[in-house]
Structure 1
Amino acid sequence: MKTLRQHPLLAFALAFVALQVFVAVGAEWIAPYGPLEQDIVARLKGPSAAHPLGTDQLGRDVLSRILHGYRTSLAACVVAVALALLAGGTIGLLAAYRRGWFERVSMRLMDVLFAFPVMLLAIGIIAVLGPHTTSAAVAIAVVYTPIFARLLRGPALVICESEYVTGARAVGASDTRILFRHVLPNLASVILVQTSLLLSTAILVEASLSFLGLGTQPPTPSLGLMLSEGRNFLLLSPWSAVFAGFAILFLSFGFNLLGDTLRDTLDPRLRGQE
């Protein structure tokens, strides 16, 4: 609590992200209508008392679909980043700890993945797996795995050469104990910051894939899919596309702001400049 009082921007970022997560989790209870419920008579209507954010081309309530779209997009991105952290973090830690041939082979493999543009690699993976929310999550996880591997390997190399790790080896501590008790806790701040920042970009990637028809498939609500469907009716009723775009903006901005403020708070070099 003291840290939050000293850093009001961090408190705002946490509250902003927590609010959006709450909206995503509680979409079933907060949304005034079902995400697939149609009112044909009220198609392409603007904001009103009955439909606060208007309706889309099929008469579905835009607010309800955005709330459920929050859940779809956020769930896919959280799963994707968690998988990337698990795979990339494991590779990075083992590369720093084991060194030798494992480090050379694993890091060259990560370099190969780095060579591909993010969207091109994601589209290639989805071409193999087929368009689906799960496929989009797997594609994002593969794309972000080398980022976590490279990011954690650097500081892990320094920690593995530190005196307390050398002392732990000298007293006979197992490799698992050293990694989980001495190395990983010292990487917690790096992991926390990078996870927040990658969640921000993962939301944009997932929305882009859904916009292209490669992610979440209709009729399941997704922010990127809503933006894609609404672009065909911009002159008649832009509300669906506009509000879906703002939802993507707010969701990405929240995690990006959280990552930036966490970095400023946890980095001792930045704290010393305050």
Structure 2
Amino acid sequence: MAGASASLRRGPSRVLLVAGAFLALTVAAALLAPVIAPFDPLAQSVLARLQGPGATHFLGTDQFGRDLLSRILHGLRASLAISFGAVGLALLVGGTIGLVSAYYRGWTERILMRLMDILFAFPVMLLAIGIIAVLGPGATTTAAAIAIVYTPIFARLLRGPALVVAQSDYVMSARSIGASDARIIVHHILPNLASVVLVQMSLLMSTAILVEASLSFLGLGTQPPTPSLGMMLSEGRNFLLLSPWAALFSGLAILVVAFVLNFFGDVLRDTLDPRLR
């Protein structure tokens, strides 16, 4: 029985290492895109238009003769940068709102959380499209739109456990010795929410990739000629009968990166949540 328990404890760690390795490979491919990409992602060749996978172009070319592998690597880099930036900004703003609401309670909590409820009332894509319609299309505005959409998610997520931690004995002790509110929130409440933050960030990253790809597919995200997985999928659909490779490989890249991030988030949640051990 002891051996079985030990193997169960070791199991999630091994799976977490595998998930982390996949995530590390994905991030490394994005970061090293300028180094490992075989061609310039913007270089066009009329003679190489709509070619299939081969020895020169491993994944083929698009309608302008641009190398698909190079564009997918750079598109992955852009998608991850936008998603990481959006989720990080949403965590900073939404997490601060959730912590402040839980700590001060009263009218502060009512006002802040009602504002979050207003944002929560809008469908994700509709709100993101509305924000981009006001700010204009582009990578920066896409990141800002996704961040605004995800802000109430982090606010609600951190408010719940922060309410419990704020009433704990060590927080009361810190108040009794005159610790400032900022110190209590940063040094006593926030560290106890680290596991919740890490899990939610990894899970929201996977959906942020899909939202960013959807906005780029609609022409509202990263603008040409900068490579974007969603834009490549949109452009490739017009040539499905002639050469389906652009749509096929860009869609597969979106699927793989979303799966890797979701897989890592699920394994991280199962590892850090004591109720699932």
TM-score range, shorter chain: over 0.9
SS in 2 for 1:225: helix
* 1:6 Cα deviation from its structure 2 partner: 5.1
Contact 1:4 1:11 (8 Å CA) reproduced: no
Equivalent residue for 2:30? 24
* 1:128 Cα deviation from its structure 2 partner: 0.2
TM-score scaled by length of structure 1:
0.97
Equivalent residue for 2:130? 124
Contact 2:12 2:271 (8 Å CA) reproduced: no
2:212 & 2:187 partners in 1: Cα distance? 35
Asked if 1:148 is matched to 2:154, the reply is yes
SS in 2 for 1:7: helix
Asked if 1:202 is matched to 2:208, the reply is yes
Q: Which amino acid aligns with 2:273?
A: D
Q: Over aligned residue pairs, what C-alpha RMSD do you find?
A: 1.2
Equivalent residue for 1:261? 267
Equivalent residue for 2:245? 239
* 1:7 Cα deviation from its structure 2 partner: 2.2
Contact 2:116 2:152 (8 Å CA) reproduced: yes
Q: Which amino acid aligns with 1:114?
A: F
SS in 1 for 2:188: helix
Q: Which amino acid aligns with 1:84?
A: A
Equivalent residue for 1:220? 226
Contact 1:5 1:11 (8 Å CA) reproduced: no
2:154 & 2:10 partners in 1: Cα distance? 27
Deviation digits for residues 108-137 of structure 1 (CA, Å, limit 9, x no counterpart): 000000000000000000000011111110
Q: Which amino acid aligns with 1:36?
A: L
Specify which of 84, 93, 101 is matched with residue 95 of structure 1: 101
Deviation digits for residues 36-79 of structure 1 (CA, Å, limit 9, x no counterpart): 01121110010000000000000000000000001111100000
1:214 & 1:237 partners in 2: Cα distance? 25
Specify which of 14, 37, 41 is matched with residue 35 of structure 1: 41
Q: How many residues align?
A: 270
2:85 & 2:39 partners in 1: Cα distance? 27
TM-score scaled by length of structure 2:
0.96
Q: Which amino acid aligns with 1:158?
A: V
